[in-house]
Amino acid sequence: MHLSVRYDPKEKKFPITNLAHIELKMRHFLTNFAVALTKIKINIKDGTIKKSDRVIGIDLGTTNSLVAIVDPVTREAYCLGEPEDKIVPSVIHIGDDHSVTIGKKAAAYLTVEPEHTVYSVKRLLGRSYTDIAGHAASYGYALVEDQTKAMVNIDIRGRMYNPIELSSYILKALREKAQTLIGEPVSKAVITVPAYFNDSQRQATRDAGKLAGLDVMRIINEPTAASLAYGIGLLKHESKTIAVYDLGGGTFDITILSIQDGVFEVLSTNGDTYTGGDDFDRAIVEYWCLQMQLDLKEAEADQQLYQTLRLEAEKAKKYLSSNESYSRQIKVKDSYLELSLEKDTFESLIKPVVEKTLACCALALQDAGLEVPAIDEVVMVGGSTRTPYVVEKVSGFFHGTHINNSINPDEVVAIGAAIEADILAGNRKDMLLIDVTPLSLGIETVGGMMDTIIPRNTKVPFQAGRQYTTSVDGQSKLKIAVYQGERELVDDNRKLGEFILGNIPAMPAGLPKIDIHFILNADGILKIEATELRSGVRQDIEIKPQYGLTDAQVEDMLLSAMQNAETDMQKRMLAEAKAEAGQVIYYCRKLTGSHSDLLTEHELASIRDMIELLELACNGDDRETINKQIDRLNDMTRPFAEKLMDDAIGKALTGKKLDAL
């Protein structure tokens, strides 16, 4: 193994001047063999989950939420409720006794009690204040401004509410609605989330479901649900690439999905969390103000006038989805206003917003590495795609590719969730079911860290490998400890087992190449193979990770991973600082020992003292102090490192190998 660094003949020096770092860099070079995860073809299993009670599908939307179910007799999926109350506005009003009102009734408070009425809570799920700070001013209620990374809180009437709790009120209302309408208790659900939701947002959604008394069987992506509603992805041997265009009230998402044998893979997502039908309404209000020679700023300041105009604008917009022109006289305070809007004018008003969404579509295609002809079908989602102009422009963008918009665009996600729920309930034996690992699988590395080899939510069967090396010279045995969980330190995860890879021929630290391969089969059985590639020494074991862990335990582990993310990071940084200190000390001792001739007695004594101080720091838990001592030791040994480098270069230039250092 040769160290490849640039040598500057004029300076006769390598650009690296730091003793420990030379070695660390070399080590890094040696250990950096991480093999990218390789996806292998998924084998489809059919549903074997026992028949259970009814499972509902929920679309927990930013603007509106819906609940749907599959009729046990007709096998048809439909949204629950009378036509006028299928859609539940995602609005929560908190009364003076902290009583909770949801939906339409709550939405009526938006204009009169904005500070007690929460809308768009989905944007806050799993997010901290700093995540959303840029848009904080646009919320009518009080977001608590703190500097922590914890989920943002909302202060309503002197009580703190968090987004999980608020979302759970919506879910609870949907659950109760379902129970009333089907006349049976409901405890299981599939809930949809945007494809771009990260782990903490998904976990927060799951927790909200739990708080609402629901056993969340699965969280699925909204575009996946919409596709299922159209029957896309339900057939074996089906292979397609589709675009899901979702324009809701306040958000826009475009997702490119690849579907193969019932497996949905998100190729790319793009969008804007602050673009949607609300922008159409605003454009109309601005136009009317201009027409009536009303100053927009003044109109905005007059909440009653502005909100009336806004509601009227939404009515006009919806009316124009199936009519050519709108006109109405309204009364605000004591004056009458004549409001009218032609379809053509409306379309020119919303053109910039629609063009913005098409630009996102172009970016999504680019990210997926695809061109328009590669898209087999387009699925339209979200209430705003009821506007014919939107469909027209999207169709134009996708060169007339088949557009699926026959199902109500505001119901399509909930309907898809109900279909997935029905599959999970085991009601469709003909249907495909993909299993995933509920928790990440990995091994322990230096410092007690968890190194994940198979991440959670990976579809099985799956296999992945990584390469490692030793951290101590002449190590002939290596303990491989296997863990399951999401926490950074193995101590906080669950140990599945350990085994020893022995008979490794003695080599300097960093030289052995140990390949560790995880093979997870469709039943959740994990087989591990460890091979020392230089000598060919190998060992393998089989572990059954799923057994012994109940669903509740899995949930608890995930919950605590979320709650402990911050402390884990601190612990990880401390463990890393200690590990680095260990390395620095090890190489300082080794090299000052083997090259003591390059140092004076005094220099040697100072380095030894400095090592002692670093060791002392490592006994404590103060990361800052450890890092400071590492820096001091590095600074002190820098001249020595330079000498050593020069020496090594000299030898290298006279034909000796550099790694003899």
Specify the residue, 187 or 321, whose C-beta has the smaller distance to ligand ADP: 321
Burial (CB < 10 A; 0-12, 13-18, 19+), residue 434, is: middle
> Does the protein bind ligand ADP through residue 277 (CB under 6 A)?
yes
Q: Figure out which of the listed residues 22, 23, 47, 61 binds Mg ion, where binding follows CB under 5 A.
A: 61
Cα–Cα distance for residue pair 556/18, rounded to 1 Å: 45
The CA-atom distances, in angstroms, between 321 and each of 64, 97, 253, 349, 394 are: 19, 41, 21, 14, 16
- Residue of 207, 222, 410, 532 marked catalytic: 222
> Does the protein bind ligand ADP through residue 128 (CB under 6 A)?
no
Stretch that binds ligand ADP, among 96-104, 379-387, 634-642, 652-660 (CB under 6 A): 379-387
Cis peptide before 461 (omega within 30 of 0): yes
Q: How many residues belong to the chain?
A: 661
- Number of residues counted as binding ligand ADP (CB under 6 A): 21
Whether 222 is catalytic: yes
> Does the protein bind ligand ADP through residue 278 (CB under 6 A)?
yes
Site for ligand ADP in 402-431 (CB under 6 A): 410
Residue 118 Cβ, how far from ligand ADP at the closest point, in Å?
A: 14
> Does the protein bind Mg ion through residue 409 (CB under 5 A)?
no
Cα–Cα distance for residue pair 60/88, rounded to 1 Å: 10
The CA-atom distances, in angstroms, between 281 and each of 61, 287, 314, 351, 407 are: 19, 10, 5, 13, 24
The CA-atom distances, in angstroms, between 633 and each of 243, 472, 497, 609, 611 are: 56, 21, 39, 10, 7
Q: Residue 117 half-sphere exposure, CB side, CA atoms within 13 Å?
A: 17
Stretch that binds ligand ADP, among 23-31, 384-392, 471-479, 508-516 (CB under 6 A): 384-392
> Does the protein bind Mg ion through residue 383 (CB under 5 A)?
no
Of 611, 614, 616, nearest to 591 by C-alpha is 611
Specify the residue, 281 or 486, whose C-beta has the smaller distance to Mg ion: 281
Whether 122 is catalytic: yes
Specify the residue, 224 or 531, whose C-beta has the smaller distance to Mg ion: 224
Cα–Cα distance for residue pair 29/264, rounded to 1 Å: 37
Site for ligand ADP in 229-248 (CB under 6 A): 248
Please report the beta strands in 420-511, taking only residues with DSSP state E, as ranges in sequence order. 432-433, 441-445, 449-454, 462-468, 478-484, 494-501
> From residue 241 to residue 260, what is the string marking binding to Mg ion with x (rule CB under 5 A)?
-------x------------
> From residue 38 to residue 77, what is the string marking binding to ligand ADP with x (rule CB under 6 A)?
-----------------------xxxx-------------
Whether 246 is catalytic: yes
Quick one: what does residue 487 bind among Mg ion, ligand ADP, none, with the CB cut-off 5 to 8 Å set by partner type? none
3-class DSSP assignment, residue 264: strand
Is the separation of the CB atoms in 255 and 266 below 8 Å?
yes
Residue 301 Cβ, how far from ligand ADP at the closest point, in Å?
A: 24
Q: Which residues bind Mg ion (CB under 5 A)?
A: 61, 248
The residues annotated as belonging to the active site are 59, 122, 222, 246
Q: Which residues bind ligand ADP (CB under 6 A)?
A: 61-64, 248-251, 276-278, 314, 317-318, 321, 382-384, 386-387, 410
